[in-house]
Structure 1
Amino acid sequence: MTEPVDEVKIIEELFSSENFDDEDDILLLRNIANKKHKVARIQNYIRDVVGHYNDIQFKSHFRVSRETCNYLIALFEQSVHYPKGPPFGRVRVKTAEEYILCYLWFAGNKSVYRIVAQLFGLSLPTAHAMIESVTTYLTDELGLLVIRFPRTPQEKQDCSEEFEEIAGYPGVYGCIDGTFINIRTPAHKIKSTYVNRYDTTALTLQGICDAKKKFLDVFTGIPGKIHDARVFTLSFLCPTVLSMGPDYYLLGDSAYPLCENLMTPIRDYGNLTDKQREYNRRFCATRVLIENAFGLLKQRFRQLIRTDMWGVSKTLKFILSCCVLHNLCIERNDFLDGIERYVAEPEPEAEIIINDEAWRLGLLKRNLLARQFMER
């Protein structure tokens, strides 16, 4: 007869490191096996452990406030993605709370499905299915409501005015940049296709944010080997940006092609004039918001440090679901304390020019803005 599993001790081992990776997970499971215990599922974790967390402890483990979590549970419970009956036989229906907490734990901690399943007393296939259901709900249903561009003229003007209050840069519609999401080599794919300039396997996440660091648009699934400028031209957003009209534009770093609706910094070869330096100062003080947005995203959802899903489609869907939840947290003023500053990856300068006329119009607009800043 095997000895009973010490559930409390297992939980303490799980919590001993907030950034454990796959090797740590494997070692943990081996240590338990070496003790000749029967590895059973932990029972009543939500009731007996999570239910006794104070607000700080809850947010530390699940990366959102209890209020935001309860709000998300209520939304998911009304969704078609929450199964209302047992799918097989007489299996007990999991509550919406179990679904959401299971997803939040997986997204907010550097863990694997097997550890999540053990912690929440689930089989491995059930844990996969529950996380997938919440991911699909966030991307296919909630995402359409919380990630979107300003639509009405008043919304566009409000967005531009919020940016202008930061450093006096007018007409800004959003800030654009790309970041790497490290992944394992997808199944049946060639590794070199996804290896970026840092020799890591990654996908590129392109994001556009507003002055509150909310994402207005996200686009991912492109291998990290591809330059940011090329990702932009491949994205669904490119035609929209080029047809925005002369009153609004995005701010992007030197990796992006200059055009009338996409402003970039003036390259410094050591001979910038005072008006050009002033332009760059205001530009950088405004554009840094997208880097901050990526920092908030990765600090809250630490699974994005390196995702370990085999399929590309599942990986990119999970990345997008984290972006949706990022926006929801900002809308509800749910922020993490002690956020680490995000350090942007230096991107090679753009070699792509959309067309000569677009570049010429962009250059004229940028020079006009530089003159206006010195006249104020």
Structure 2
Amino acid sequence: MMLSDLSSTSSDEHDVEPPRRPARRIRFIRDRENPFELHDDVEFKKRFRLNKTTLMNLVHLIGDATEPRTRRNKSLDARAQILVTLRFYATGGFLELIGDYMHIHKSNICRIIRRVTSQIARLSRQYIKMPNNNQELMATKPGFFQIAGFPRVVGAVDCTHVSIQSPGGPTAELYRNRKGYFSINVQAICDSELKLLHIISRWPGSVHDSTIFNDSPLPVEFRMGRYGSGFLLGDSGYPCKPHLLTPVTVNQMNASQEAYNRAHIATRNTVERFFGVLKRRFPCLKNGLRLKLVTTVKVIVACGVLHNICKEQNDEIEDYFEPIEDEEEDEFVFHEGNNNNPNYAVRNALIATVFAR
């Protein structure tokens, strides 16, 4: 090879450009709209299921715990985070859709929902509680009595299923209910004004309603006399007890038993209406939740807390949306045996006195 060839080769090598690094991605933070100021009162409530006054009360309750430490990168304040969470409760939609509406990335949406939901659920001891003194008991019983003349009722109990995605793992099938989909079986007790008094939201969908009730502290509290001579009303999926009265299910009923059943159904219907109002206000409970189980349980409790806060604020949802019917009726019915069973003593006494025909 000649010298001229070597020099030309060397010059060609120097002419080759080094590989370019990919252009650095420019981070773009979108301007966010403020739904609180963008919508009027009616449109705001349709989108977030709470009015503006109730929202600001909620900000006052949990704002300090959710407020960001700094304002770097246009961080969301407490009110904006609560609005994101309420929007999820009001739709139950995919996180991407909520992010598109609020101009927030999906990953941030997930963290916000988890954070705010935990703070709202922590208010359950303050806003969800059974009547625990004579004054509260005396205030609860007349409301039920005015419905159909049923005395001494301190609450109506029932369960409803909240659909979830398959939790996976070896215990996933425990969450498949009798209708074939995965769910959490939620037990609730409400008063005559549809205020939530007690909630349990941790049981898989395959667990029966009576099992949830028997495992709760309520039977022991009633036997200890914490609620005086009061009792709960439940459907035929529960066994009749002195503290839990169910309808009469014998084939041939007399006039007194029929009168008892009519009053029982009308009075216990409050818990059915409660579930309808709760799922109408927060459609995520009707449409199903696609979150981790620990977050799902907290979302259910948080919705119950918000329902009671709205009741205290006279923030009614029926003015905007019709309540939906809860379709989760239990197919299992406890068959009654000997009418002399001690568990039927309270019910028999009511039939023979209050509902005698």
Helix, strand or coil at the partner of 1:374: coil
Residues 1:222 and 2:218 aligned together: no
CA contact (8 A) 1:307 1:315 kept: no
Match of 2:174 in 1: 193
**Structure 1: tracts of 5 or more residues without a match:** 1-39
Q: Structure 2 counterpart of 1:45, which letter?
A: E
CA contact (8 A) 1:86 1:92 kept: no
Q: Which deviates more from structure 2 when the two are superposed, residues 320-329 or residues 365-374? A: 365-374
TM-score, L = length of structure 1: 0.80
Cα offset, 1:223, TM superposition: 1.0
Measured in 1, the distance between the counterparts of 2:308 and 2:36 equals 25
CA contact (8 A) 2:67 2:77 kept: no
Measured in 2, the distance between the counterparts of 1:50 and 1:189 equals 45
Helix, strand or coil at the partner of 1:211: coil
- Structure number with greater Rg is 2
Match of 1:145 in 2: 126
Match of 2:69 in 1: 85
CA contact (8 A) 2:236 2:333 kept: yes
Measured in 1, the distance between the counterparts of 2:246 and 2:195 equals 21
Match of 2:309 in 1: 328
Superposed, 1:248-327 pairs within 5 Å as 248-269=230-251, 271-327=252-308
Q: Structure 2 counterpart of 1:172, which letter?
A: V
**Structure 2: tracts of 5 or more residues without a match:** 1-27
Residues 1:57 and 2:43 aligned together: yes
Q: Compared with structure 1, are the counterparts of its residues 86 and 199 closer, same or farther at alpha carbon in structure 2 (3 Å cutoff)? A: same
Superposed, 1:1-376 pairs within 5 Å as 43-46=31-34, 50-78=36-64, 81-86=65-70, 90-140=72-122, 142-244=123-225, 247-269=229-251, 271-336=252-317, 337=319, 338-351=321-334, 360-375=341-356
Cα offset, 1:101, TM superposition: 0.6
Measured in 2, the distance between the counterparts of 1:333 and 1:194 equals 36
Q: Structure 2 counterpart of 1:107, which letter?
A: Y
Measured in 1, the distance between the counterparts of 2:50 and 2:137 equals 29
Q: Compared with structure 1, are the counterparts of its residues 154 and 66 closer, same or farther at alpha carbon in structure 2 (3 Å cutoff)? A: same
Measured in 2, the distance between the counterparts of 1:363 and 1:95 equals 56
Deviations 1:29-67 (A, max 9, x none): xxxxxxxxxxx8753221xx5523121111111111121
Q: Compared with structure 1, are the counterparts of its residues 349 and 373 closer, same or farther at alpha carbon in structure 2 (3 Å cutoff)? A: farther
Measured in 1, the distance between the counterparts of 2:68 and 2:335 equals 51
Measured in 1, the distance between the counterparts of 2:171 and 2:323 equals 33
State the identity as a percent.
28
RMSD value over aligned CA atoms?
2.6
Q: Compared with structure 1, are the counterparts of its residues 277 and 309 closer, same or farther at alpha carbon in structure 2 (3 Å cutoff)? A: same
Match of 2:24 in 1: none
Measured in 2, the distance between the counterparts of 1:197 and 1:375 equals 38
Cα offset, 1:351, TM superposition: 4.8
CA contact (8 A) 2:237 2:332 kept: yes
TM-score, L = length of structure 2: 0.85
CA contact (8 A) 2:256 2:356 kept: no
How many equivalent residue pairs? 328
Helix, strand or coil at the partner of 1:292: helix
Q: Which deviates more from structure 2 when the two are superposed, residues 62-71 or residues 319-328? A: 62-71
Measured in 2, the distance between the counterparts of 1:284 and 1:171 equals 15
Measured in 1, the distance between the counterparts of 2:117 and 2:135 equals 32
Match of 1:25 in 2: none
Q: Compared with structure 1, are the counterparts of its residues 310 and 98 closer, same or farther at alpha carbon in structure 2 (3 Å cutoff)? A: closer
CA contact (8 A) 1:263 1:362 kept: no
Measured in 1, the distance between the counterparts of 2:299 and 2:146 equals 34
Q: Compared with structure 1, are the counterparts of its residues 341 and 307 closer, same or farther at alpha carbon in structure 2 (3 Å cutoff)? A: closer
Measured in 1, the distance between the counterparts of 2:39 and 2:295 equals 32
Q: Which deviates more from structure 2 when the two are superposed, residues 156-165 or residues 172-181? A: 156-165
Deviations 1:178-214 (A, max 9, x none): 0000110014354422111111111100000011111
Helix, strand or coil at the partner of 1:45: coil
Deviations 1:61-85 (A, max 9, x none): 111112111211222224xx22441
CA contact (8 A) 2:275 2:326 kept: no
